[in-house]
């Protein structure tokens, strides 16, 4: 039943924000010496003008195929990790009524994020490349399976996990803060009821959406530089990457990284600290409401299906 609820929310929501997701990735990896996408509105117009309506949704099929198992594993892992951590916490403190603290929720969320991200990372890697390629690219991946098989054949199995380390590091504050901030805000509002928002010991949908939006804003802002580095590292070794996104010459050097630290260093040295936040605006427009809706929908659907355990339990 949990998997059904996750599938119901993920495909429509991901498809609705697919143009913003594609633009975000293009902004993250484009060459600063050959700028094609300059801001959210201009970028979307450029994609529409050069690639048409289909260009706005490039890579969405792979993203939907990835996000369903990713969300299912993430929410399931969080509930299981929360139960295990709470049990250990009660055993350690000797208090059978003890509840998870914000820090423990952060840990449970981080565990869930790492497990879910690692399980579906190869799909995310090829999704990034499918999203970046254009109709004028010299080489075309025909779809997710073709991309996976091509990367395996030409670059080896390790290539499917390029950028995994910054993803692991980034998922800790991102997913961890999402869960911790969401639940802590809910608990604070339920206990203090500062604005009279609690009715019958429950928070309304709008209030929970606001909690989810706050959680999404904090989590994605803290972790965003690592997402930029992950995307850039995913392009390393792709022989058509420079001509597809970054142009020739200087663009190619920007894609040659020996590791995460080297990628950070070269990005900041050549483009400045602001480059670590390229694509943040379209990502915020996409992520903040998406996370808010995800949390509330997950809890609402489980209530309708009669599943007793909620995230906040």
Beta bridge mates, 203: 198
Predicted confidence band of residue 245 (pLDDT cuts 50, 70, 90): very low
Nearest to 86 by CA among 106, 109, 104: 104
DSSP state of 139: S
H/E stretch holding 203 reads: strand 202-203
Per domain, the residue ranges of the chain are 2-305
H/E stretch holding 224 reads: helix 205-235
> Average pLDDT for residues 47-57, to the nearest whole number?
90
CB 46 within 8 A of CB 37: yes
Predicted confidence band of residue 248 (pLDDT cuts 50, 70, 90): very low
- Which residues, other chains included, contact 174 with Cβ-Cβ below 8 Å and sequence gap of 6+? 113, 219, 220, 222, 223
**CATH fold group of domain 2-305:** Mitochondrial carrier fold (1.50.40)
Tens digit of pLDDT for each residue in 262-312? 989 999 998 899 999 999 988 888 777 777 777 777 777 767 766 554 444
- Which residues, other chains included, contact 183 with Cβ-Cβ below 8 Å and sequence gap of 6+? 100, 102, 105, 311, 312
The reported pLDDT for the residue numbered 172 is 77
CB 300 within 8 A of CB 312: no
The reported pLDDT for the residue numbered 137 is 67
């Amino acid at each position: 039943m949990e998997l059904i609820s996750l599938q119901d929310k993920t495909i429509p929501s991901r498809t609705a924000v697919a143009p913003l997701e594609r633009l975000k990735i293009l902004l993250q990896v484009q060459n600063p010496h050959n700028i094609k996408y300059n801001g959210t509105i201009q970028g979307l117009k450029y994609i529409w003008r050069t690639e048409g309506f289909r260009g706005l949704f490039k890579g969405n099929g792979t993203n939907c195929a990835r996000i369903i198992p990713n969300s299912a594993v993430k929410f399931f892992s969080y509930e299981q990790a929360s139960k295990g951590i709470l049990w250990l916490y009660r055993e350690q403190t000797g208090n059978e009524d003890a509840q998870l603290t914000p820090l423990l929720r952060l840990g449970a969320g981080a565990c869930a994020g790492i497990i879910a991200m690692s399980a579906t990372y190869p799909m995310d890697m090829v999704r990034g490349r499918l999203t970046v390629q254009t109709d004028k690219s010299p080489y075309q991946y025909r779809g997710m399976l073709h991309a996976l098989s091509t990367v395996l054949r030409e670059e080896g199995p390790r290539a499917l996990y390029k950028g995994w380390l910054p993803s692991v590091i980034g998922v800790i504050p991102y997913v961890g803060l999402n869960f911790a901030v969401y639940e802590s805000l809910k608990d604070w509002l339920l206990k203090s009821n500062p604005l009279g928002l609690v009715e019958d010991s429950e928070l309304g949908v709008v209030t929970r959406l606001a909690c989810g939006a706050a959680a999404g804003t904090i989590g994605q802002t803290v972790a965003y530089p690592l997402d930029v580095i992950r995307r850039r590292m995913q392009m390393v070794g792709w022989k058509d990457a420079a001509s597809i996104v970054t142009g020739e010459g200087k663009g190619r050097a920007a894609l040659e990284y020996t590791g995460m630290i080297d990628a950070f260093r070269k990005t900041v040295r050549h483009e400045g600290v602001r480059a670590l936040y390229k694509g943040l605006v379209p990502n915020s427009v996409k992520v903040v409401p998406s996370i808010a809706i995800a949390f509330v929908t997950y809890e609402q659907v489980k209530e309708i299906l009669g599943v007793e355990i909620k995230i906040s339990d």
